[in-house]
A = this chain, B = another copy of it.
Amino acid sequence: MSFKYLTNIALEKAKQDYLQTLMHNGMVYKSEVIPVIKAAGRTTAQPVYAQICAPHYNASAMDGIALEAKLTFGASETTPALLAADQYQRLNTGDPLPEGCDCVVMIEDIIETDDGNGTVKLYEAAAPWQHIRQIGEDICAGEIIALSYAAITPSALGAMIAGGVTEISVIKRPVVGIIPTGDEIVPPTSNPGAGDILEFNSSIFSAMLSNWGAETKVYPIVPDQLEQIIATLKLAISECDIVILNAGSSAGSEDFAAEAIAAVGTVLYHGLAIKPGKPAILGYCGAKPVLGVPGYPVSGIIVIEQLLRPIVEFLNKSISEPDRYMEAVLSKAVVSTLKYREFVRVRMGYVGSRLIASPLSRGSGVVTSFMKADGIVEVPQGVEGYESGVNINVRLLRSAEELKQSLVVIGSHDPLLDELAELLRVRYGDVSLGSAHVGSMGGLLAIRREEAHVAGTHLLNTETGEYNRSFIQKLLPKSGARLVQCVKRTQGIITQKGNPKRIAQIADLAQGGLRYINRQKGSGTRILIDYLCNKDGLDTTLIYGYDREEFTHTSVAALIAAGSADAGLGVFSAAKLYGLDFIPICQEQYDLLIPEHSWGLPMVQKMLEVLGSDEFCARIDVLGGYELDSPGVVREVF
């Protein structure tokens, strides 16, 4: 009933033992015979021998006439060779060489005479076999056109057909059965009930597996009933080459996966020394892998990538391109446990002279972290993690070219950043804007550490009432940077629709029974609420939930909309997005800080251009609660 029953096997050993056991049990690739014209992209299972020569007859390589070369020997400008109509034959490219002819003369080298008998003149002798594609020029019958285990490229396809091959034996794609389980799991929908978990893992897994050349078969969702799981497993094993049993692989009260797999086959290992992905079950039934995969999407992705990819490639006889790695500077410390090998998703970008890797959310339920990831940092078992600023080796999920085009925006969150990213994407397909929401302070610090191209900031100097300026001077005393105007935006209290708690001012946040939802420390909005409370002499410890922190305006509004909180400070656009009530408190200045080293970059200039565009105005207008502050114009140079 608890985790301690799971083993903690090192990944490499587990992989090796698993593959060896399966091979020892007779796991081998299958082949099938298919028509050549359907074989594009497949892999040959045997050498392909040419059935005929290509060309299979001596063919003219030109439009012209065919003749016996010796008739032209000695021909020259002064003494041309004359050919009577019966001494040559006209033919077009591809026509077979007539009996008794051994060369072709091009149409433009033939001088027609006017003797009326079709006699032609040649000013040059023809060499035997000139302009003739001889039998077997391309392929000789009996030759090997393609070796075993060769990828069938477009030209290989053409060569096979040219060689008279109509059917070939190719590697059969392994079929992977995917069984989703769980009482709480429901098929994809736009309005799930509370407690319903949308079944999207099988879609992720299917897409991954087909990228590796496998076919997939997804079974209907099975409830947490041991007998039903066993029955479905048996069916899948009979129908597929590989079976994935999704979720129930842990050790909770409703985790039947291990028991079910043991009932139909053998469990080699239950529990790997990796994170995410620990509760994986490496099982098999004879020569067929039966893998118990954890329910959290990120765990599942990593388990399948690490354990099934090699097996699928083994069964496909396909050699995958080796992973690409690059050195990068870690922007934030990564703390790991000695116990596990950890896979950390990172976002990457070239800032200044360095390639920066910024860790993304490590929650194994956060599928977007994989979607946003540019690379994976592996913290080996036995290593406690890496400090911020160290050089690390990153496995790339995108090409170096793409990374060069990724604009790193770190700092204060505002919904307009997504709209900016979209406009950039539409106007300049090559630039991708990735934003990390660490608050205004975090943004300035990222600029100081040379880890971002742009930082969104709205820091209020409570003495002067002025924004950003003083903070930049304090945090970036020397380094040159430009502060670019963007918008003025309205901050206020976001409340449930209809404002049931009757909130009119900051002081009302302390009322009994009100659940406040706050922003993280260091964010401009947090600094603002601290200031506002302080100004009104309000003791923040009296505000329930003041320590409950979210990282974006949107998530604050989302929690209020869902009834999980009653109020929070945020921008109007976030309230509007969810149709919530909004009590305006003040208007603040939201600027973008851009360091000198980034200013000249084409992608930064493109962003500034978009900032100043009418489309941007229009988008901002739709979001609501903004006042354009001549976006893109430099406010001040530091």
Which residues of A are interface residues toward B (Cβ below 8 A)? 1-4, 36-37, 40-41, 47, 51-58, 61, 63, 92-96, 107-108, 128-129, 133-150, 153-159, 161-162, 164-166, 182, 184, 188-192, 194-195, 197-201, 203-208, 210-211, 250, 252-254, 295, 297, 301, 317, 319, 321-322, 363, 365-368, 370-371, 399, 401, 418, 421-422, 425-426, 429-430, 432, 545, 547-548, 550, 552, 554-555, 557-559, 561-562, 564, 577-578
Q: Are B93 and A250 in contact (CB under 8 A)?
A: yes
Q: Are A147 and B36 in contact (CB under 8 A)?
A: no
A136-B562, A158-B370 known, 16 other contacts, Cβ within 8 Å: A1-B107, A52-B190, A53-B558, A134-B559, A138-B368, A141-B578, A144-B418, A146-B371, A147-B422, A154-B207, A154-B301, A157-B207, A158-B201, A159-B367, A161-B188, A166-B188
Can you tell how many copies of this chain the complex includes? 2
* Residue in chain B with minimal CB distance to A560: B135
Give the contacting residue for A363; candidates B137, B150, B165; CB below 8 A. Answer: B137
Q: Are B40 and A207 in contact (CB under 8 A)?
A: yes
A530 to B215, CA, bound (A): 59
Counting from the closest, the 3 A-B pairs by CB-CB distance are A161-B200, A154-B207, A40-B207
A128 to B157, CA, bound (A): 63
* Residue in chain B with minimal CB distance to A364: B61
Give the contacting residue for A158; candidates B129, B204, B253, B564; CB below 8 A. Answer: B204
A96-B194, A198-B164, A295-B94 are contacts. A142–B578 as well, Cβ < 8 Å? yes
Q: Are B40 and A158 in contact (CB under 8 A)?
A: no
Expressed in whole angstroms, the minimum distance between the Cβ of A602 and any Cβ of chain B is: 16
* Residue in chain B with minimal CB distance to A298: B155
Expressed in whole angstroms, the minimum distance between the Cβ of A622 and any Cβ of chain B is: 12
Expressed in whole angstroms, the minimum distance between the Cβ of A161 and any Cβ of chain B is: 4
What are 6 contact pairs spanning A and B, CB under 8 A? A94-B184, A137-B555, A140-B552, A154-B205, A154-B301, A161-B188
Q: Which residues of B contact A55 (CB under 8 A)?
A: 197, 365
Q: Which residues of B contact A370 (CB under 8 A)?
A: 155, 158
Q: Which residues of B contact A301 (CB under 8 A)?
A: 154-155
Q: Are B57 and A194 in contact (CB under 8 A)?
A: yes
Q: Are B191 and A164 in contact (CB under 8 A)?
A: yes
